[in-house]
Amino acid sequence: MRRKYGIGIKGVAMSKLRQLLVMFLMVSAIFVISGGKAEAAKTITGTSGSPTEYRALCDGGTPVDFAAYPSDVNFDGVNLTYNINIHWQRCTGTETRAYAIYGGEEVCPVSGTYGVAGIVTDCVKYIGSPEYSGPGNGLTCPEGVNGQCVTPAFSGARVSANQPSSAGTSITIPMSVTNNLWLLAPDAAGTWTVSNQMCQYYKTGANFTVHNDNRCITLTMSVSWVPTPVPPTISCGSVTTSPSNPEPGESFTLTASFSTDGGEHGGSNDPTLYSIQVAIPAAGVTAPGRYAAAYASIPWDAGSGSGTLPNISIGGASALPISIATSGVHPVTYTVVVDGADNTPQTCTGSVTVANKPYFKVYGGDVSVGKGSGGSACATNASAGVASWLRLYSGGIYAGSGTQLAAFALGSIDGFASGQERYTLPRKNLTFANSGSVIANSTYGGDLSPNNMPCAADYWSDTPAGSSLPAVINPASSTTYRSNTNSEIRVVPTGIGVGRSVTVYVDGDAYIASNIMYQPSIYTDIGQIPSFRLIVRGNIYVAPGVTELNGLFVATGKFYTCGQAYGQPTPSQLDGDCRINRLTVRGSVIADTIKLSRTGGTLAQSQLAEAWNHNVYSLGSDGPAERFIYTPEFWLTGDFDPGSESQSYRTLPPVL
């Protein structure tokens, strides 16, 4: 018996090299490892079969006819399964013999053998039982029994009659085909089509010598797929504030950010949406509450997003100002929700640092930075400057750090105003800084020559022998003390007596452990004004509990306004007594470096009236962390020049 085989498989093109690779690689239908990266394989987008139903039978007046169509097409990534539905019937009274419906192995199962033709595939098979012995006896099995021509696993229809019954019959045959292309090219879309022809074989004519197999139908089963989109992985970002370190009680905005790796196969035209929920317990902002650019779009192939609190575009409670009353590091929790991402919501953490911005004030004197001691010739430091905090109070008037008179620096001056006695003037009218060689490029002046700045006196060059330094200084008369080692300085609580002049020389570091005060009195003569001078060849450290110093304090090293015994302040001191206690210096400080270590008060609480009234705030209350007051008593005693004493004092304009 003749057979026609028309097998056609269309799908993803595959090179010989990749065919060889498949033979040696064990891969799954879900993931393929390529270049060290795991990618999802494919997602089925659809299956189909053609034709979709039986065609009309017996057209053209043929003796017999059949119709077929596939159904229930399914694909699991390896096997394409479907049903082949066949319906046949006798159309005319013409007698036929040797009836069969056959096709390739994609549409019909293996049925057995005919003659010497070998294995064949039939859907409907004539088995000749009882055995046919008329014309066209070529259907007899070589084994001698027609029934042996059918394999035990044959799932088609066995037809024992010489032709179909006039009532017709039908059968549904389950089929499956394995796909080797699915495992390749995991990041590429594709289509696999299985197509084959099914034909009807029968004999007609005198003695049934005419062979007919011209009744054929093409059956097609298809599956299509795309790379499986992998939702983006969300990574927590950072929490930032504006301003970067808000002060206690200062309003700020907070921005929480995140980023994505873009996932896989989403593409820039496949955007997704995200929202952020922020909780700042210290600011009274609790979750859930969407305080970000809710439902903002980002491309799925890669991207990042952020949400800002408050965001007035959202309105409601989210638009209210945020502030935290206490300094410190305060936790922030924010939740990122990305539509379609299977690993969200993603909870992220951050923090807001609320920090005091302590400031200092100088009254009655200038600030000069960059020239050393040594009389007419001294060393200079071109980078020496002043750094503090200043804020716009109103209408071009500034509050915060500053001096009533002039400020000089060979380096830069930042956050420090001059001329605050005349508060209506801009913040830098009496500022002379060398922060730029061109005045226009400098925030506070510029092009200040070291020749225009005086050197400090050399207070150590004429050091007398002096008396031994007592544990507590309480002289009965004017006295000079000298210590050749690190020394603790204490003055009797009642203060230096009227008319007493005290000078202490320390060849080492000095630790001021108590207030240095003058006994209160009404002076009727310049000689009655007490004075105190501490000249140190090293560093000066002021104890955290000290709140007032009177006199002249000179250090060839550093001057710490708050510190431990012979050391800079510890973190616990900075957040403890160095913050609680403000320091007032009535006199002058000369040092290689002045370390303003008091941390009390903050810029946001500074007042305009502090510029001309140093008594606006009492010690321990909000206000400047340090106040340096150049008093009349100080310059009348001639502490700047220990060898002289002023009897009268007169100035000529301009007064800086």
646 found inside a domain: no
The average pLDDT across 442-449 equals 60
Lowest mean pLDDT among 19-23, 157-161, 315-319, 369-373: 19-23
Measured CA to CA, the distance from residue 42 to residue 75 in angstroms comes to 12
Lowest mean pLDDT among 50-64, 339-353, 604-618: 604-618
Instruction: Say if residue 342 is in the same domain as residue 417.
Output: no
Measured CA to CA, the distance from residue 535 to residue 462 in angstroms comes to 11
Lowest mean pLDDT among 261-265, 351-355, 383-387, 417-421: 261-265
What secondary structure does DSSP assign to 273-314, as a single string?
A: EEEEEEEBGGGTB-SS-B-S-TTEEEETTSEEEEEEES-TTT
What percent of the chain stands above pLDDT 70?
73
- Does residue 129 carry a pLDDT above 60? no
647 found inside a domain: no
- Does residue 34 carry a pLDDT above 50? no
Measured CA to CA, the distance from residue 578 to residue 573 in angstroms comes to 6
Instruction: Say if residue 473 is in the same domain as residue 441.
Output: no
Q: Where are the alpha helices (DSSP H) in 474-592?
A: 571-574, 577-580
Say if pTM beats, i.e. exceeds, 0.85: no
The average pLDDT across 181-186 equals 68
Lowest mean pLDDT among 67-76, 292-301, 564-573: 292-301
Q: Which residues pair with 551 in a beta bridge?
A: 587
585 found inside a domain: yes
For all residues of the chain together, what is the average pLDDT? Answer: 77
According to the model, what pLDDT value does residue 458 have?
84
The average pLDDT across 426-436 equals 70
Q: DSSP 3-state assignment of 148?
A: helix
- Does residue 631 carry a pLDDT above 50? yes
Tell me: the pLDDT tens digits for 352-368?
A: 999 888 999 998 888 98
Q: Where are the alpha helices (DSSP H) in 420-570?
A: none
Measured CA to CA, the distance from residue 496 to residue 396 in angstroms comes to 43
Measured CA to CA, the distance from residue 198 to residue 65 in angstroms comes to 12
According to the model, what pLDDT value does residue 442 have?
47
Residue 496 φ/ψ region, left for φ over 0, alpha for ψ in the -120 to 50 degree band, beta for the rest = beta
Domain stop point among 209, 227, 245 = 227
Measured CA to CA, the distance from residue 280 to residue 258 in angstroms comes to 17
Residues ≥6 apart with Cβ < 8 Å to 169? 87, 88, 89, 157
Which comes out higher in pLDDT, residue 33 or 485?
Answer: 485
Tell me: the pLDDT tens digits for 254-293?
A: 888 888 776 665 554 456 677 777 888 888 877 554 444 4
402 found inside a domain: yes
Instruction: Say if residue 328 is in the same domain as residue 252.
Output: yes
Tokens of 15: 């090179």
Instruction: Say if residue 223 is in the same domain as residue 341.
Output: no
Lowest mean pLDDT among 198-202, 318-322, 575-579, 634-638: 318-322
According to the model, what pLDDT value does residue 527 have?
87
Measured CA to CA, the distance from residue 533 to residue 587 in angstroms comes to 10
- Does residue 111 carry a pLDDT above 70? yes
Q: DSSP 3-state assignment of 596?
A: coil
Instruction: Say if residue 431 is in the same domain as residue 511.
Output: no
Chain-centroid distance of CA 299 in Å reads 17
Q: Which residues pair with 533 in a beta bridge?
A: 503, 552
Q: In sequence order, what E strands does 539-642 have?
A: 540-542, 548-560, 583-595, 626-629
Instruction: Say if residue 343 is in the same domain as residue 379.
Output: no
The average pLDDT across 199-211 equals 83
Q: Is the peptide bond before 135 cis (omega within 30 degrees of 0)?
A: no
Tell me the CATH number at 241: 2.60.40.10
- Does residue 436 carry a pLDDT above 60? no
Pairing of strands 110-113, 531-536: unpaired
149 found inside a domain: yes
Q: Provide the pLDDT confidence category of residue 41 given band limits of 50, 70 and 90.
A: low
Task: Report angle CA 73, 78, 79 to the nearest 5 degrees.
Answer: 35
According to the model, what pLDDT value does residue 628 have?
94
Measured CA to CA, the distance from residue 140 to residue 137 in angstroms comes to 6
According to the model, what pLDDT value does residue 134 have?
42
Measured CA to CA, the distance from residue 117 to residue 595 in angstroms comes to 106
391 found inside a domain: yes
According to the model, what pLDDT value does residue 386 have?
87
Range of the domain at 139: 7-227
Contact (CB, 8 A) for 360 and 629:
no
According to the model, what pLDDT value does residue 73 have?
96
Q: Which residues pair with 68 in a beta bridge?
A: 86
DSSP-derived letter for residue 28 is -
Which of 481, 479, 461 is CA-nearest to residue 470? Answer: 481
Measured CA to CA, the distance from residue 59 to residue 141 in angstroms comes to 33
Instruction: Say if residue 207 is in the same domain as residue 245.
Output: no
Q: DSSP 3-state assignment of 19?
A: helix
Instruction: Say if residue 285 is in the same domain as residue 385.
Output: no
Measured CA to CA, the distance from residue 218 to residue 368 in angstroms comes to 101
Lowest mean pLDDT among 155-169, 377-391, 549-563: 155-169
- Does residue 472 carry a pLDDT above 70? yes
Q: Provide the pLDDT confidence category of residue 607 given band limits of 50, 70 and 90.
A: confident
Tokens of 65: 């006819």
Task: Report angle CA 94, 99, 100 to the nearest 5 degrees.
Answer: 145
Contact (CB, 8 A) for 558 and 539:
yes
According to the model, what pLDDT value does residue 483 have?
95
According to the model, what pLDDT value does residue 642 have?
47
Contact (CB, 8 A) for 616 and 607:
yes
Give me the numbers of helices (H) and strands (E) for the chain, helices first please: 4, 39
Instruction: Say if residue 150 is in the same domain as residue 35.
Output: yes
Q: Provide the pLDDT confidence category of residue 376 given band limits of 50, 70 and 90.
A: low
390 found inside a domain: yes
Lowest mean pLDDT among 195-209, 223-237, 294-308, 478-492: 294-308
Instruction: Say if residue 313 is in the same domain as residue 336.
Output: yes
Measured CA to CA, the distance from residue 17 to residue 336 in angstroms comes to 45
What percent of the chain stands above pLDDT 90?
30
Domain stop point among 304, 339, 354 = 354
According to the model, what pLDDT value does residue 355 have?
87
Which of 523, 653, 599 is CA-nearest to residue 328? Answer: 599
Contact (CB, 8 A) for 655 and 608:
no
Instruction: Say if residue 419 is in the same domain as residue 475.
Output: no
Domain stop point among 452, 482, 511 = 452
Residues ≥6 apart with Cβ < 8 Å to 332? 239, 254, 256, 278, 279, 280, 349, 350, 351, 352
Q: In sequence order, what E strands does 430-560 have?
A: 431-433, 467-468, 479-483, 487-489, 501-506, 510-512, 531-536, 540-542, 548-560
The average pLDDT across 8-30 equals 28
Which of 269, 287, 262 is CA-nearest to residue 277? Answer: 287
- Does residue 138 carry a pLDDT above 60? no
What secondary structure does DSSP assign to 192-207, as a single string?
A: EEEEEEEEEEEEESGG
Q: Which residues pair with 340 in a beta bridge?
A: none
2 found inside a domain: no
Lowest mean pLDDT among 149-163, 185-199, 429-443, 459-473: 429-443
Instruction: Say if residue 195 is in the same domain as residue 267.
Output: no
How many domains does one find in the chain? 4
According to the model, what pLDDT value does residue 446 have?
56
